Amino acid sequence: MPDEAGTIGLRVARYRPDTDSEPGWQEYDVPLRREWTVLDALNHVKNEVDPTLSFRWSCRMGICGSCGMDVDGTPRLTCGTFLADFAPGPIRVEPLSNFPVVRDLVVDIDDFIQKLPRVKPWIIRDEEKSVDEGEYLQSPEELDAYKQFSMCINCMLCYAACPVYGLDPDFVGPAAIALAERYDLDSRDQGARERLDVLIEHEGVWGCTFVGECTRVCPKHVDPAGAIQRYKLKAARESVKALLLPRGAR
């Protein structure tokens, strides 16, 4: 394929809250370059064609997690989604599903920002070691236990892919639960009990019906669906223990 093979159509969802009552569509033609991603195409539109188009982006290398959008109906990081894979087009670009739209391709993720601290995604100790005692040591095996879940970049693709979150916005959601699991599996952490109290609620892990789409769209292979199912096993075990054992033995 030559560097440039004509053009490809972008069908972009537009919403201007000051003038529009609901989102509409706008078509743009962009150069179909082999090395161009959907984000490159949007930047081309913004710089050369229509400066009013709004979207979020930052690093362009799949690290910052800001450029997530629905491309042809599937949540993706637009910086890692190549135009050539959608030829001959047109390519449908929409704001991430399940979130309120602020403007054009920008969504309001406040709901996630509120939910995240509820699962306490930080290391909790019963008693902090003093600095003189040195650092908390960890073996490579102990690191491996949680490393996969620590790769989350909060890009919200999993929330956009999750029909449960779409239908019940109170659901804590895939990324937050995967991050809770990340700290539970950390050998330095002692906060599993506190997190379970939040996640054992109906809006916690039990809201999940194991659609599995969160894992399929995750650009970092975090596997939130796996984390949630393992949390369910843990929650079920704790419930059985609470039923059978006297208080002191739990």
Partner 1 sequence: MNGVRTYRRPISTWWWVGKRTYFVFVMRELSSIFIAWLVVYLLLMIAAIGRGADAYDDFLRFAANPVVVVVDLVALAFVVLHTITWFGLTPKAMDVRAAGRPVPAAAVIASQYVGLVVVSAFVVWLVSR
Binding site for partner 1 (CB under 8 A): 15, 17, 22-23, 73, 97, 100-102, 108, 110, 141, 163, 166-167, 209-213, 215-216, 223, 225-226, 229-230, 232-233
155 vs 161, which CB is nearer to partner 1?
A: 161
| CB 14, min distance to partner 1, A | 11
| CB 21, min distance to partner 1, A | 9
20 vs 197, which CB is nearer to partner 1?
A: 20
Structure tokens of 117?
């601290």
The Cα 63–Cα 210 span in angstroms is 27
196 vs 214, which CB is nearer to partner 1?
A: 214
Angle of CA points 137, 139, 141, to nearest 5°: 150
| CB 163, min distance to partner 1, A | 6
Q: Report yes or no: 67 and 56 within 8 Å, Cβ to Cβ.
A: yes
Question: In which residue are the tokens 């009990």 written?
Answer: 193
43 vs 97, which CB is nearer to partner 1?
A: 97
**Using H for helix, E for strand and C for coil, what is the string for 61-122?**
CCCCCCCEEEECCEEEEHHHCEHHHHCCCCEEEECCCCCCEEECCEECCHHHHHHHHHHCCC
| CB 127, min distance to partner 1, A | 29
